Amino acid sequence: MAKTALVVMARNPEEGKVKTRLAVTIGTSETLRIYKAFLSDLAQRFAGWQEEAYTMYWAYTPSEADFALNVTALVPSARASRYFAQCGPDLGSSLRHAFHTTAAFGFQQTILIGSDAPQLGREMITQACQALEGADVVLGPAEDGGYYLIAMRKPYDLFSKIPMSTPQVLQMTMERAHRLGLSVHLLEPLFDIDELPELLRLKALLTVQPELAPLSAAVICSLSGGLL
């Protein structure tokens, strides 16, 4: 059994239910195309990668969705991944449940990422794993004040009373970790994609380095004529 669980938090790819802030500006249909490309890039990058060291899981919502069927339809190699439904009334509860789930499965440590940064590379996962050798908690700061990655050796409660999806999330999480006597290691900052400005920034990045997220690059390029 691998030592580390790599968990991707994701929403079932359904029109009108994903990236709703982005959909306000470019429409629900095109937003769904982009989100499917995000999932596809992440699946191709991580599914089956270093299976001796990592076991990949998708933690999906809503719980009644056939998420595995939808993802493997996009990327057949995602069959190598495993799946469990998110649980809880809010994001913080879902994150806490994910860490408790992988601990119950017997993993010694868990690295959790979102599905909003398709440019996230394997090297960041490797760095997080290495950092866990000396730190209790590893955080990848997102430029909006949250985090794109959180990794822990145990399912510490770093989520209670933290207002998720606010600019204070990272700082409050670090403060809570320190109050619990936990050591924290920070990775390099990264931006994730919630609204049009971040999508335009991703477009600029992928124009220069399409290999970072090739499927996302292709879809974004196809939108450029009328929407971006």
pLDDT in tens, 22-36: 999 999 999 999 999
How far, rounded to the nearest angstrom, does the alpha carbon of residue 103 sit from its chain's CA centroid? 19
Domain span holding position 147: 4-223
Contacting residues for 138 by C-beta, under 8 A, at least 6 apart: 111, 128, 131, 132, 149, 150, 151, 152, 184, 185, 186, 187
Q: What is the mean pLDDT of residues 93-97?
A: 97
pLDDT, position 38: 98
Amino acid code (one letter) for 159:
F
Helix, strand or coil, per DSSP, at residue 201 = helix
Q: Is residue 186 part of a domain?
A: yes
pLDDT, position 224: 58
pLDDT in tens, 57-93: 999 999 999 999 999 999 998 887 899 999 999 999 9
pLDDT, position 48: 81
Q: What is the mean pLDDT of residues 170-185?
A: 97
pLDDT in tens, 205-225: 999 999 999 999 999 999 855
Q: With pLDDT > 90 as the criterion, what percentage of the chain qualifies? A: 89
Q: Is residue 228 part of a domain?
A: no
Q: Is residue 8 part of a domain?
A: yes
Q: Is residue 213 part of a domain?
A: yes
pLDDT, position 225: 55
Amino acid code (one letter) for 51:
E
CA–CA separation, 12 and 225 (whole Å): 28
pLDDT in tens, 113-156: 999 999 999 999 999 999 999 999 999 999 999 999 999 999 99
CA–CA separation, 86 and 77 (whole Å): 22
Cα radius of gyration (the chain): 17
CA–CA separation, 114 and 198 (whole Å): 15
Q: Is residue 218 part of a domain?
A: yes
Q: How many domains does the chain have?
A: 1
| CATH classification at residue 114 | 3.90.550.10
Its pTM stands at 0.95
pLDDT, position 227: 60
Q: Is residue 145 part of a domain?
A: yes
pLDDT, position 20: 95
Q: Is residue 192 part of a domain?
A: yes
Say if residue 214 is exposed, middle or buried (CB neighbours under 10 Å; 0-12, 13-18, 19+). middle
Phi, psi angle pair for 8, to nearest 5°: -105, 120
Q: Is residue 76 part of a domain?
A: yes
Per-residue pLDDT for 1 more than 90? no
